[in-house]
Amino acid sequence: MSSDLFQNPLRRLRKKGDRRPTVPVKELRERDRRRMLRHFLELEDSDRLLRFGSVLPDEQITNYVNGINFSRDMVFGVYNRVFRLVAVGHLAFAPRDESSTVTEKERVAEFGVSVSRSARGLGVGSRLFERAAIHCRNSDVDTLYMHCLSTNKTMMHIAKKAGMEIHRDYGEADAYLKLLPADPSSVLQEALHEQFAVLDYTFKANKRIAVKWFGKLIRRK
């Protein structure tokens, strides 16, 4: 795996000694829906099971992607060097269960994530999770849920590392994280990260257009 998979114009700002590539996590919008579908359809059956709790057929995955409401939920993604969407994190918001003793806030959030096999082990899943958590803080949500199979060792590791409270039940695990309230630094951190990701996205998108254009030019000669 090339360590410059996520190569970006600000890579020199990376901390010394940090061997993992910088991972720009960007908010996804309507225009990314087609690429999201491609990402999910490329997931193998075993990954679909881990991500959705069952091996969803293509048709249901298509319905899921078409049904994502970008004005209610947040979707984050990571594009690689060649402008391919290699990871998607879906942060879905829902009203708090009236009987809940976990939070007094109006809404709670649930996070689901998938990373393409080619981009695993580089910290992408963890970065998406961190981004989702900081977005919750800044949206007055103090409880972030995650539902996964308890055999999902990688996700359990990420959840434990983040300090999540984990409840195991019949092979499934419900984990939740209590979050601190927003403060000026969490707001600034999210805004800066998004600015950086937008810059990275624009750079990669333009590079891809240029490569295509040159390719056409060369073929014409």
Give the nearest distance from C-beta 101 to ligand COA in angstroms: 24
Q: DSSP 3-state assignment of 18?
A: coil
**Among 92-100, 124-132, 135-143, 203-211, the segment contacting ligand COA (CB under 6 A):** 124-132
List the one residue from 115, 159, 175, 179 that touches ligand COA (CB under 6 A).
115
Q: Rounded CA gap, 2 and 86, in Å?
A: 14
Nearer to ligand COA, 95 or 121 (CB): 121
Task: Work out whether 24 is an interface residue with ligand COA (CB under 6 A).
Answer: no
- Nearest-angstrom CA–CA distance, 144 and 141: 8
Q: Is 154 in the site for ligand COA (CB under 6 A)?
A: yes
Q: Which residues are within 8 A (CB) of 23 and not within 5 positions of it... i.e. 6 or more apart?
A: 6, 78, 122, 123, 124, 127
Q: Which of 5, 50, 88, 144 binds ligand COA (CB under 6 A)?
A: 50
Interface with ligand COA (CB under 6 A), residue from 8, 22, 80, 114: 114
Q: Using the rule CB under 6 A, is 172 a contact of ligand COA?
A: no
Q: From the CB of 43, what's the least distance to ligand COA, in Å? A: 7
- Of 173, 149, 165, 202, the C-alpha closest to 24 is 202
Shortest separation between residue 215's beta carbon and ligand COA, angstroms: 31
**41 CB-near residues (< 8 Å, 6+ apart):** 58, 61, 62
Alpha-carbon distance of 125 to 88, in angstroms, equals: 9
Minimum Å gap between C-beta 73 and ligand COA is 14
Q: Which amino acid does the sequence have at 15?
A: K
| 77 touches ligand COA (CB under 6 A) | no
Nearer to ligand COA, 43 or 182 (CB): 43
Q: CA-to-CA distance for 112 and 129, rounded, in angstroms? A: 9
Rg (CA), the chain: 18
In the complex, minimum distance from the CB of residue 210 to ligand COA, in angstroms, rounded to a whole number: 29
Chain residues binding ligand COA by CB under 6 A are 47, 50-51, 112-115, 120-126, 148, 152-155, 157-158, 161
